[in-house]
């Protein structure tokens, strides 16, 4: 049985922690913007030891990052935990976490990208419904305010005990990068372009519990004790930026990770696949990604929905992990059938 956290209410305290990268130490205005926005919505915000630190590619050593996670879960004032940003090292915290204590103190936990690692750990070790959604420095710090579509689906997910229901594609989207170091992000909103909506790479209908995350992040967990049972699940995947913040993951790497998942036999177990809109891909790159996705799953007949508002482009939906969802190509439908909070 999954554990669902209490829903977020006005006046509640939100913790912002940095369990992976520590970019608030380099771009403090982004965190300041996020806090200002959340407070304007009627929430209190609490920072922790490593929230504003920078220690190379991490915010702080793993033990300190893990302590922040545990302190946020133990803090009776905190009702929701939003991660600062992704990174590459969230998995280093696993061995320092007290999963029994987390189980006794279920809370909303939200983030994406490398935070996939923690979502998986909490799902496997605790059975906690967590939320694949916006981070503080990226989405909540958007100038002059977060994108409304992102906010709508975030609050539907965490501030309600009702299912999100039909997930309607955003009307517009962006993967424009404005230089945070030069504070170009404060000069104007990012340019938006028309969203053409969902695309079905393989038709069909499937219903099941949803699980997934950032492709390279979850691929590294294969074969570990943090790898969940995918039997009859709906898998979602999305791909991040590459080594440079303003470029997409190289296609060769995306193909590599997809085949790695194929070798785990994950595609033999799932009932359906949802793939997020790729970040900083040209039309040619996107077409090649779709081709490789069909090649890597060619042995199977499950439906594949492509181009959903998940991941590193904006806006983004918030997905409660482990709840029941349905995809149906005949109705062009992606529906979240079960609430993630109580």
pLDDT of residue 64: 98
Query: Is 40 annotated in the active site?
Result: no
Tell me the C-alpha distance between 132 and 114, whole Å: 11
Q: Where does the pLDDT of residue 241 fall: very low under 50, low under 70, confident under 90, or very high at 90 and above?
A: confident
- 13-162: CATH number: 3.40.50.10740
Q: Can you tell me which residue has the tokens 């309607």?
A: 168
Q: What is the mean pLDDT of residues 107-132?
A: 98
Query: Is 209 annotated in the active site?
Result: no
Q: What percent of the chain has pLDDT over 70?
A: 100
Structural domain 172-336, CATH architecture: 3-Layer(bba) Sandwich (3.50)
Q: Where does the pLDDT of residue 197 fall: very low under 50, low under 70, confident under 90, or very high at 90 and above?
A: very high
Q: Which one from 113, 116, 313, 329 is the annotated catalytic residue? A: 113
Query: Is 49 annotated in the active site?
Result: no
Report DSSP letters for 154-211, one per residue: HHHHHS-SS--EE-PPPSEEB-----TTTTGGGTSPPP-EE----EEEE--EEEEEEE
**Tokens read off for 66:** 């893990």
Least confident of 1-15, 145-159, 230-244, 298-312: 230-244
Q: Is a pLDDT exceeding 80 seen at residue 174?
A: yes
Q: Tens digit of pLDDT for each residue in 31-87?
A: 999 999 999 999 999 999 999 999 999 999 999 999 999 999 999 999 999 999 999
Whether 172-336 and 13-162 are alike in CATH topology: the answer is: no
End-to-end CA distance of the chain: 14
Q: What is the mean pLDDT of residues 181-186?
A: 98
pLDDT of residue 246: 79
Q: What is residue 148's three-state secondary structure?
A: helix
Q: Which one from 249, 312, 313, 329 is the annotated catalytic residue? A: 312
Q: Where does the pLDDT of residue 247 fall: very low under 50, low under 70, confident under 90, or very high at 90 and above?
A: confident
- For the chain, the domains span 13-162, 172-336
Q: What percent of the chain has pLDDT over 90?
A: 97
The distance from CA 6 to its chain's CA centroid, rounded to whole angstroms, is: 20
Q: Is a pLDDT exceeding 80 seen at residue 245?
A: no
Q: What angle do CA 75, 221, 311 make, to 5 degrees?
A: 70
Q: Which one from 64, 238, 241, 249 is the annotated catalytic residue? A: 238
Q: DSSP state, 18? A: -
Report DSSP letters for 227-277, one per residue: PPP-TTPEEEEE--B-SSTTSBPPHHHHHHHHHHHHHTTHHHH-SEEEEEP
Q: Where does the pLDDT of residue 224 fall: very low under 50, low under 70, confident under 90, or very high at 90 and above?
A: very high
Q: By the 8 A CB rule, do 114 and 61 touch? A: no
Q: What is the mean pLDDT of residues 206-225?
A: 97
Q: DSSP state, 314? A: B
Q: Where does the pLDDT of residue 281 fall: very low under 50, low under 70, confident under 90, or very high at 90 and above?
A: very high
Tell me the C-alpha distance between 287 and 42, whole Å: 43
pLDDT of residue 242: 82
């Amino acid at each position: 049985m999954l554990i669902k956290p209490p829903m977020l209410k006005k006046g509640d305290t939100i913790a912002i922690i940095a369990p992976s990268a520590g970019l608030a130490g380099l771009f403090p205005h982004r965190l300041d913007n996020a806090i200002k926005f959340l407070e304007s919505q009627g929430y209190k915000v609490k920072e922790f030891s490593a929230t504003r630190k920078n220690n190379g590619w991490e915010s702080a050593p793993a033990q300190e990052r893990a302590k922040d996670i545990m302190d946020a879960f133990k803090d009776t004032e905190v009702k929701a935990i939003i991660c600062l940003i992704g990174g590459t090292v969230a998995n280093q915290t696993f061995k320092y976490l007290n999963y029994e204590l987390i189980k006794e103190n279920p809370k909303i936990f939200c983030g994406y990208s490398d935070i996939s690692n923690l979502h998986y750990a909490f799902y496997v070790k605790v059975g906690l419904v967590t939320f694949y959604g916006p981070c503080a420095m990226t989405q909540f710090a958007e100038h002059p305010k977060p994108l409304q579509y992102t906010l709508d689906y975030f609050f539907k997910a965490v501030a309600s005990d009702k299912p999100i229901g039909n997930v309607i594609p955003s009307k517009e989207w962006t993967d424009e990068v404005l230089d945070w170091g030069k504070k170009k992000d404060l000069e104007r909103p990012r340019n938006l372009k028309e969203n053409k909506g969902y695309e079905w790479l393989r038709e069909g209908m499937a219903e099941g519990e949803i699980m997934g995350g950032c492709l390279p992040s979850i691929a590294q967990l294969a074969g570990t004790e943090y790898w969940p049972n995918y039997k009859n699940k709906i898998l979602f995947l999305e791909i991040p930026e590459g080594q440079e913040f303003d470029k997409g993951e190289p296609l060769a790497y995306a193909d590599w990770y997809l085949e790695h998942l194929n070798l785990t036999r994950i595609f033999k177990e799932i009932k359906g696949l949802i793939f997020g809109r790729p970040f900083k891909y040209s039309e040619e790159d996107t077409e090649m990604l779709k081709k490789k996705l069909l090649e890597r799953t060619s042995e199977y007949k499950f439906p594949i929905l492509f181009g959903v508002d998940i991941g590193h482009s904006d806006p983004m939906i918030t997905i409660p992990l482990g709840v029941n969802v349905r995809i149906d190509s005949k109705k062009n439908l992606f529906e979240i059938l079960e609430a993630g909070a109580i």
